[in-house]
Structure formats: structure tokens, C-alpha cells
Amino acid sequence: MTPYDAASPQARPPLIDGFGRTVTYLRLSVTDRCDLRCVYCMAEHMTFLPKAEVLTLEELDRIAVAFIGLGVKKLRITGGEPLVRKGMIGLIEGLGRHLATGALEELTMTTNGTQLEKFAGPLAQAGVKRINVSLDTLKPALFRTLTRGGDVAKVIAGIEAAQGAGLRVKINAVALAHDNAEELPELIRWAHGRGLDITLIETMPLGEIEADRTDQYLSLTKLRAELESFWTLIDIPLTTGGPARYVEVAETGGRLGFITPLSHNFCEACNRVRLTCTGTLHTCLGQEDAADLRAVLRAGASDADLVDAIRLAVDAKPKGHDFHIERAKPAVARHMSTTGG
């Protein structure tokens, strides 16, 4: 048995950090590239990483399997846009095998949806049951502006293809004070009408972009109060160990989530870590802590060395984040597209 044989994870102690939190959730960013340029996520002219800096598919698989062997039960593939990376379905199929053994409980993806018409079927076949699709507006012109050139019809067709393939789809919408604030009730109604859950996200100060974030920031506490002026929101005790809080909208029967990293502290129950596409392990989204697993791998590490490096990084997971929207500078310099949303 290798030290991280994912088939028998019971053989090893779980990943527990210095504050007693068990890490069971890995977000794996597989590329920094994307076919869109969302204004809150990327600069208009991004310099993407040279290929040699990005983990190969084999390296991504090796690290993911090491985490599964250490008790990670939920794996989310993200980016950049995961579905623009060549060979992505092969990686997902490989990881999907750990669902069959029970070592992994859930394999999911966050995608912008532009390629879903093509890939929804293969994703479902590989064992993916649920995906998140990012969609901030249904208005074609506003979508084009927010994504710097995207076509909303393609995303909607992608969502339909995913539902047709049997995937459960949750919509993620970033709440933007001046762009989609007024449309959000309509977007929620649209999603619920199609059997889709929807989660609203506050903008987070990650990476340098052109727009003024203080100006884009829309408090979800305020928005929730507004929604409650015409809807009944019933709290539901669903927790994913992350910053999302969920309600049911009585009038639509659908589920609505709020991700409020800036106005709430969700760190005590945090169960997740993130790996960038360059192999840097961030144990906290809002801190600069980092462990270079690519260097470990490329130095010819054994499986035991890799497990040691992961344990060391998790042990030092910071207690909490440090976001403040009012700061002119981003809290951390890396973009969400690099870290993985």
C-alpha cells in the first residue's frame, strides 16, 4: 500500500489543522485561463502563466489522490475555466473512479457554462452529480459587458444541457451594486422556476482589476432585507463548512444561498483548502499562506514526502481571513481565477 492509497483512507489519521478543524474539502484549480474576462475577476489584458508553470494533468491527479487518501471527501474542480483545459474530462474520469470505491463522496465543478453543451454528458458519465454555473445576469448586453464579450445564450443552453444530462445545477451570481442589483429578484425567480438553486456572492478583494471594488460592493445583508419586503425567507440549517448560508423562498419553493465573506465570520467551521493550478496550496482564501507542492513533486518526492508536505501545510492553516472591502488594495494579490473560486 502506498502512503496515500485512496482506497483505504482509514489507514491514516485525517487531516486536522492546528485549530482542530478537519479538512475534508479540496478545491482544485486546473487552469488560470478562461474564455471570459469577468470585470470583477480579471483584468482586461491578463498575462496567463507559461505552460511549464501549470501542473500537468498527471500532477493534478497525483495531488488530488493524495488528498483523497488523507480523508478529503469532496473535490471541486475550478479555475480559471476548467472546461477550457484540454484533457479535463480524462482527469475527471480518473478522479471519478474514487467515487466508485467510496473514498470520495462528491466530485463537483464550478464553471462559467460556456462549454457545457459539449461536456455535460461526459461529466455526468464520469460520476459528477452537481455543478455550479456562474451567471450574473440574463440580459445579453449586460452579460457581454460584465464578461467582456460573452454570450449569455450559450450559458443558458449549457445549463439546459446539464439538466438534460441529469446534473443538478446551482447558479452562482456575484451581486454588483450598479450592474445587476435590481435584476437579482428576477434572476432568483428564473432560477427557481427551472428547478435551480442559486447563491449570491459578495465581491471579494482578490487581485488587481481595473474597477473600483468599493463601488461594486453590495451588502447581501441589505439585499436580504430588501428581498424580505416581498418574499418570505425561511432559514434552512444547511451548512457546507463554508461561508454560504441558505434560505428557502416560500413563494418560489426554491433555495437561495448567501455567501458573505466580508460581513460574516465563517472561519471557525472551515473545512477546506485550495490548490492553485501551479500547485500552491492555500489553506485560507484570505491569507497569503502558501505551500509549494509543485516544488515538492518536481524534486522527485515520494508519496510519503508529498503526504508530509500536505500535513505540514494543513497544520499551519490560519485561524481566519482578513478581508476589508474599504481598503484600496486587494487583501491578497492573487486573482480568484488563479486561486480558484
Residues that bind ligand SAM in the complex, under the rule CB under 6 A: 34, 40-41, 78-79, 81, 110-112, 134, 172, 174, 201, 203-204, 206, 336-337, 341
The residue range among 7-15, 37-45, 209-217, 221-229 that interacts with ligand SF4, by the rule CB under 6 A, is 37-45
Q: In the range 76-135, which residues lie near ligand SF4 by CB under 6 A?
A: 79-81, 112, 134
CA 299/CA 309 separation, integer angstroms: 12
CA 133/CA 23 separation, integer angstroms: 25
Q: In the range 264-303, which residues lie near ligand SF4 by CB under 6 A?
A: none
CA 204/CA 330 separation, integer angstroms: 8
68: phi then psi, degrees, rounded to nearest 5: -60, -40
Residues in the chain: 341
**Shortest Cβ distance from residue 40 to ligand SAM (Å)?**
5
CA 39/CA 134 separation, integer angstroms: 13
The verdict on 38 binding ligand SF4 (CB under 6 A) reads: yes
Nearest in space to 106 (alpha carbons), one of 280, 272, 283, 297: 272
- Cα 113 to Cα 159, 188, 274, 296: the distances in Å are 7, 18, 21, 34
Nearest residue (beta carbon) to ligand SAM: 341
**Shortest Cβ distance from residue 333 to ligand SF4 (Å)?**
16
Q: 37 contacts which partner out of ligand SF4, ligand SAM, none, CB within 5 to 8 A by kind?
A: ligand SF4
Strands 74-78 and 106-111: parallel
**Shortest Cβ distance from residue 112 to ligand SAM (Å)?**
4
Q: In the range 15-34, which residues lie near ligand SF4 by CB under 6 A?
A: 34
In this complex, which beta carbon is closest to ligand SAM, that of residue 108 or of residue 172? Answer: 172
The verdict on 337 binding ligand SF4 (CB under 6 A) reads: yes
